[in-house]
Amino acid sequence: MAYASLDDLLAEGVRGRRVLVRSDLNVPLEGEVPAVRVTDDGRVRASLPVLRRLTEAGAAVVVMAHLGRPKGSPEDKYSLKPAVEVLRDLADFPVSLAPDTTGEGARSAAADLSAGELLVLENVRFDARETSKDDDERAAFARELADLVGEDGAYVDDAFGAVHRRHASVYDVAALLPAFQGDLVKEELSVLERLTREPQRPFVVVLGGSKVSDKLAVIENLIGTADRILVGGGMVFTFLAAQGHAVGSSLLEQDQLETVSGYLERGSRDGTQFVLPTDIVVAKSFAADAEHGVVAADAIESGPFAADGTGLDIGPATGADFAANIAEARTVFWNGPMGVFEFDSFAAGTRTVAQALADSQAAGALTVVGGGDSAAAVRSLGFTDDQFGHISTGGGASLEYLEGKELPGLSALARD
């Protein structure tokens, strides 16, 4: 597909024009209203360069974004206020938050916006039409959004994390205004294309997270493309069970055993090696201070907690094995933590994988951390973004791209 870029828009000139930007400000929060704070500002920082380029060029910028999953009406806990406060602290241009999305407050604020200033609309998901399956409802909301920037306005999609959604602010508004691809979306696409189109080999994929069902289509599409798939996190217990091993009280998706068995067989046939843990950190219960120990992956119920044991991390031998596989790779994609990294006792596996990626990047490989929990993990464990080739903001969108799915937000930007 061919896309018009932000460079194309800036070449046209934006001084004195209003530009509608879809950004990704869907940041993780903690605390209760009104004492809510952002725990990872990575997505705000990633959004900043495009917003800065537009304001510096003299545009009056109106930002659309969502946060969380409100049910189509305003909810204080999903207000964009905490994210906007972070943006305001980071920005070197004026930033304000509208009191609503397309209501009187937003219309008035957008009309008063001057060149070089930025207005963030309140959470677009506060309006049920944003996510409606009714085309006419979404189109009506998109028209209200487009009207905020007027007939001479333009639309820039810089929220790769939302391009897999057929939502009004992502898909429908692109049909109403001259539409351009933001730099963040452009960069994400470039990296994902490098992963899927003749990646440098060996190509190693590291998959974790809680549920194998969340990764089924990704695994399906990567068999035959990746040289090795290293499996950790909660999803590994379905793989171990598929090999006939007892997994105690560990997370297990019984209904996926046949599918996983098929993947293991296909991998052997199509040249993709699955690398599974040889040892597991097993705990007496799911708690930060739970009694725990290391047992062989094929003997979880023979450990000190027997059938009551719960696997919460890969073991040290597995961590070393995974690190060695990553060190041999020229391309590495990682999505999903290796254990319950939020608990110090069960963060070692995730830390080991993150360090291996950082070392691999320093040695000249391409290392890609696939957004969401993986991005939060590396930052919470003390790693910096520049230690990796690319930290995705895409989350589910990146996974759907790797699954080979069409992404509506990208289709809406495509030009003949």
Positions marked active-site: 43, 211, 372, 396
Which DSSP category does 244 fall into?
T
Closest CA to 128 of 115, 140, 116: 140
Identity of the amino acid at 343: F
CA distances to 66, 255, 378 from 273, rounded to whole Å, are: 39, 23, 26
Q: Is 79 annotated as contributing to ligand binding?
A: no
C-beta atoms surrounding 62 within 10 Å: 24
Identity of the amino acid at 7: D
Q: Is 69 annotated as contributing to ligand binding?
A: yes
Q: Is 372 annotated as contributing to ligand binding?
A: yes
Residues 347/387, Cβ–Cβ less than 8 Å: no
Q: Is 40 annotated as contributing to ligand binding?
A: no
Phi, psi of 92, deg, nearest 5? -110, 30
Segment holding 166, helix H or strand E: none
Q: Is 311 annotated as contributing to ligand binding?
A: yes
Segment holding 77, helix H or strand E: none
Q: Is 26 annotated as contributing to ligand binding?
A: yes
Residues 397/163, Cβ–Cβ less than 8 Å: yes
Structure tokens at 5: 């870029």
Segment holding 64, helix H or strand E: strand 60-64
Q: What's the CA gap between 260 and 216, in Å, rounded?
A: 8
Q: Is 292 annotated as contributing to ligand binding?
A: no
Side-chain-facing half-sphere of 352: CA atoms under 13 Å: 22
Phi, psi of 288, deg, nearest 5? -60, -35
Give buried/exposed letters for 323-347 (b at 16+ CB in 10 A, else e). bebbeebbbbbbbbbbbbbebebbb
Q: What's the CA gap between 290 and 246, in Å, rounded?
A: 21
Q: Is 374 annotated as contributing to ligand binding?
A: yes
Q: Is 67 annotated as contributing to ligand binding?
A: yes
Task: Give the bridge partners for 156, in sequence order.
Answer: 21, 180
Q: Is 371 annotated as contributing to ligand binding?
A: yes
Q: What's the CA gap between 95 and 170, in Å, rounded?
A: 22
Q: Is 5 annotated as contributing to ligand binding?
A: no
Q: Is 43 annotated as contributing to ligand binding?
A: yes
Q: Is 18 annotated as contributing to ligand binding?
A: no
Closest CA to 167 of 8, 24, 54, 51: 24
Q: What contacts 43, CB < 8 A, 6 or more positions away?
A: 24, 25, 26, 27, 161, 393
Residues 125/162, Cβ–Cβ less than 8 Å: no
Mapping DSSP to helix (H, G, I), strand (E, B) and coil, where does residue 44 land? helix
Q: Binding-site residues for ATP, please?
A: 215, 311, 342, 371-374
Residue ranges at the known binding site for substrate: 24-26, 43, 66-69, 125, 165
Annotated binding site for (2R)-3-phosphoglycerate: 43, 125, 165
Annotated binding site: 24-26, 43, 66-69, 125, 165, 215, 311, 342, 371-374
